[in-house]
Structure 1
Amino acid sequence: MDDRPAAATAASDRLARGPAGDRLADYARMLRRAGAIADDAGERAFATVPRHRFLTRFRHQRWHEMPCDGPVPEEILDAVYGDNPLAFKIDEDSGQLVSATTRPSLLARILGALELSPGMRVLEIGAGIGYNAALIQAVTGAEVVSLDVQPDVIADAEEALRRCGVDGVVTVVGDGYDGHPARGPYDRILASCGIRGVPPAWVEQLAPGGFVLAPFAHGGAHPLVRFRLERGRLRATGVGPWTDFMLAGGALYQPFLGAHPARFAAGPFPEPTLSRQAVAPMTGEDYGDLWFFLAARSTRVTQAHVGGIDPADGTAALLAEDAASAAVVQSCGAVHATGPDAAALADDLADLCAAWSACGRPAIGDWSAPMTRRPLPDGPLLVPDGWSVPAQRGGRRAAS
């Protein structure tokens, strides 16, 4: 017996038709084997919502145009149904990336972290290409409200949803800071862009037992964090993985006293004047855990480039107070420092790495923080008031 919601079943069966049906099934199995998809509902969603039909043009190694009619070239299907983020919007004046799809394995983990059930109503902040909203709707069978401040983004998402026959997504042009109270309350609110704080309007629009899930600014990147009311106060809990989303604009990304420096706001810095091993080499997941720890312990942690070292190996940096010096720790465990305060910064960063090991290498999911309301020029935000790890959760990983 099929236990999917009736609306989701009909939509999914309709979406699955077409020449890419086998690709979709293989794609979903690939994500589940990799551990990104954790349940049958998620696998069904990825196996039935055709990612390629949400795109008309994208860049992966080069620009690709999606054919309006006829078969889709294998090269395009290879790119779309690999684990690839795909750029689809570039600023014509600057040539800078404006919008890109989320890597499918990360999107699958986000879908799982939403803990969706049939009938749940979801508000998505940041519409993208409409694909994520379609996946959510395939799981819940209920209305999904997808909101974006850019009218052209909403127009493109609307067209993609129509093209794919998705009926249960309502698209809205509006400022994400305000949410969308007209169709609330919501069981889940998902931000699909990096934010620096939670606006009070989102909390007010949550249904009882609901929560916000967002890529949250921390140390110059955006690990996934869940926000839930506990005894009348919003509390943040780390979820992971470590991510680096496009940034929200306006009031959702206001700076405030005590916030970490924006990513790459300082530098690039000259080549290191000293390098030394500070911690044992790490996996990517462990490196994200270390980075979260560093940012929880110091407001001077962000992302920075130092000349002569490969940023692909990590860009977690500790800056001097005047931002004239920087020390970077990479996944190989080495610390590289440069600038007038290089030696002192290298010592400080090595000490923080040692403290992470001594604490039992706490993971992102071990951290939580009460949220406090900050009055800010563009509107108040709820921001963390001191991250901590409960004693009973520390030390669950072996020290290096």
Structure 2
Amino acid sequence: MGRGGRTACGRARRSAPHVCTRPFPSPLGAHVTVTDGWRPRAAALVASLRGEGAVRSEAVGRAVAAVPRHAFIPGYYSGGTRIAADPAAPTAELLDLAYANRGIMTHLPGDAARTYSSASQPSVVTRMLDAADLQPGHRVLEIGSGTGYNAALVRHITGAPVVTVEASAVVADEARSALAATGTTGVTVHTGDGLAGRRDGGPYDRIAVTCGVAGIATAWLRQLAPGGVIVAPLALGGLHPLTRVTIDGGQPRAVLLASADFMAATGALYERAAPSPSASGTALPEPDPAAARTVAELDPHSSYIDLWLYLALHDGRTTCAGGAHAGCALTSPGEPPAAVYLRPDGTLLPSSGARRLADDVVRHAARWTALGRPALTAWHTRLAPSGDRLHVPTRWGIRPGRGW
């Protein structure tokens, strides 16, 4: 699922909120209860997401207000320690976390799941649901079950069967338990490699991919119903912007929708994408403050991302730096390695020996400016086969009618 900031708050004393008398069937055959205390919090979250434009459809807003997000968080990390959660008797801390617009790390490779998993930031979830344009009756395939929360939202919107595939057996079991405990029927969780999709549940009107991928699996295209849509985070320049894929004239076509960052998929779905330093923990050289220069005046929340994606589409050295210089960077291997960091305000900070790399960024930025500073959403591409398992972007271009 999508990436988000890790919680830094401490343990909260277990509270005793009002308990709803409506039972939800437990996967163990007993019954659990879900507190009413979350409902005002969910309503406030929906209002906040609407205010920032992250919820546009009534159906998505109703789903977020109706599905208890905290019930899909069996545990989370705080201060480097995993805290087990009891959704049937949630602490104030769990409720605060669940109904804030932030991602929640639920698993790390060192715990029982042996992998990264998270509850995606709600604004990322809702933007993805809006982009999918879900309608009642749509059959949906989800790649990456995570906590099961997204599948529950989809089920609430469509009322149709949802098929979801999760690589981790531990995470898949937790998703099944949460879906059962909240009374969510019609969602089938499979454990396996999402690369193959799930042919026996198709064809699908929508395929939603909740992990960063290097391309679109050929199997997904085959399992897509006529007129269907795939929404997936495509690996570009160290980020995973949301991408909408449709079939046009018999060929898959992709358009960029919104900036986002997701956890990377495992196996062949990501093997063509180079891991970013921020994800791999690779140390990059320090910048030389004396060599700083300005390439453009940028807004940290809009044009900075637009230029970052322009660099990603036109220069394969673009990545996401980690550590103290997290953000857009271009790197070049060598002895010593070189890097140049693009800051959100448009300042360029080269490392020692990175003058040529910095000059390349300046030229790219000038070209972007000459084109009218096209936004991330201006770009589209055709997808072509790369072997028999993936379809990957070809040459990116500006969408017709975008005004550039």
Q: Where on the TM-score scale, by shorter chain, does this alignment land: which range?
A: 0.7 to 0.9
- Secondary structure of the residue aligned to 2:391 is strand
Q: Select which of 239, 243, 246 maps to 1:221.
A: 239
Shift of 1:59: 2.3
Alpha-carbon distance in structure 2 between the residues aligned to 1:282 and 1:176: 37
Report the counterpart of residue 178 of structure 1 in structure 2. Answer: 196
Contact 2:196 2:217 in 1 (8 A): yes
- Offset, 1:172: 0.9
What is the distance in 2 between the residues matched to 1:172 and 1:154? Answer: 7
Structure-2 residue corresponding to 1:106? 124
Q: 2:392 — aligned with what?
A: 383
Choose the corresponding residue for 1:279, options 296, 300, 308: 296
Residue 17 of structure 1 deviates from its aligned partner by 7.1
Is 73-82 or 16-25 further displaced after alignment? 16-25
Residues 60 and 81 of structure 1: is their aligned pair in 2 closer, same or farther, counting only changes over 3 Å? Answer: farther
Q: 1:321 to 1:142 in 2, by over 3 A?
A: same
Residue in 2 that maps onto 1:293: 310
8 Å CA contact retained: 2:312, 2:318: yes
Q: What is residue 66 of structure 2 aligned with on the other side?
A: 48
1:344-363 to structure 2, matched below 5 A, reads 344-363=356-375
Counterpart CA distance in 2 for 1:30 and 1:383 is 36
Deviation (angstroms), 1:394: 4.0
Contact 1:16 1:48 in 2 (8 A): no
Give the counterpart letter for 1:271 in structure 2: E
d(CA) in 2 for partners of 1:120 and 1:88? 29
Matches within 5 A, 1:211-290: 211-240=229-258, 242-255=259-272, 261-264=274-277, 267-273=282-288, 274-290=291-307
Matched, 1:35 2:53: yes
C-alpha distance in structure 2 between counterparts of 1:68 and 1:213, whole Å: 30
Contact 1:60 1:79 in 2 (8 A): no
The range that moved more, 99-108 or 279-288, is 279-288
CA RMSD in angstroms comes to: 2.4
TM-score of the two chains, using structure 2 as the length reference: 0.85
Q: Distance in 1 between matches of 2:76 and 2:134?
A: 29
> How far did 1:83 drift?
0.8
TM-score, normalised with respect to structure 1: 0.86
Match of 2:380 among 355, 363, 368: 368
- Code of the aligned partner of 1:75: E
Task: Provide the residue aligned with 2:29 in structure 1.
Answer: none
SS of corresponding position for 1:31? helix
Name the % identity: 37
Letter of the aligned partner of 2:191 in structure 1?
V
Determine if the alignment matches structure 1 residue 161 to structure 2 residue 170.
no
The 3 A distance-change label for structure 1 pair 60 and 288 is farther
TM-superposed CA distance for 1:367, in Å, is 0.5
Aligned equivalents of 1:140, 1:203: Cα separation in 2: 21
Residue-by-residue CA offset, 1:74-123 (whole Å, 9 max, x unaligned): 23211111111111112227999711111111111111111011000100
Structure 2 CA distance for partners of 1:220 and 1:63, relative to 1, 3 Å = same
Say whether the 8 Å CA contact 1:121–1:187 is kept in structure 2: yes
What SS does the aligned partner of 1:393 have?
Answer: coil
- Kindly indicate whether the alpha-carbon contact (under 8 Å) linking 1:327 and 1:337 is maintained by their aligned counterparts in 2: yes
- The structure carrying a bigger strand percent of its residues is 2
Task: Output the amino acid matched with 1:369.
Answer: T
Q: Does residue 208 of structure 2 align to residue 193 of structure 1?
A: no
Q: Distance in 2 between matches of 1:95 and 1:150?
A: 7
1:272 corresponds to which letter in structure 2? P
2:17 paired residue number: none
Whether the 8 Å CA contact 2:214–2:271 is kept in 1: the answer is: yes
> Which stretches in structure 1 are left out of the alignment for 5+ residues?
1-10, 396-400
- The residue matched to 2:363 in structure 1 has which SS? helix
Q: Does residue 66 of structure 1 match 2:92?
A: no
Structure 1 residue 321: Cα displacement: 6.1
CA distance in 2, matches of 1:380, 1:44: 37
Q: Is the 8 A contact 1:58 1:65 kept in 2?
A: yes
Q: Match of 1:149? A: 167
The Cα shift of 1:285 comes to 2.5
Q: Equivalents in 1 of 2:157, 2:391: separation in Å?
A: 30
Taking the aligned partners of 1:373 and 1:284, their CA distance within structure 2 comes to 34
- Stretches of structure 2 lacking an aligned partner (at least 5 in a row): 1-23, 25-32
What per-residue deviation string (whole Å, max 9, x for no partner) do you get for residues 120-167 of structure 1? 010000000000000011111111101112211111100000010000
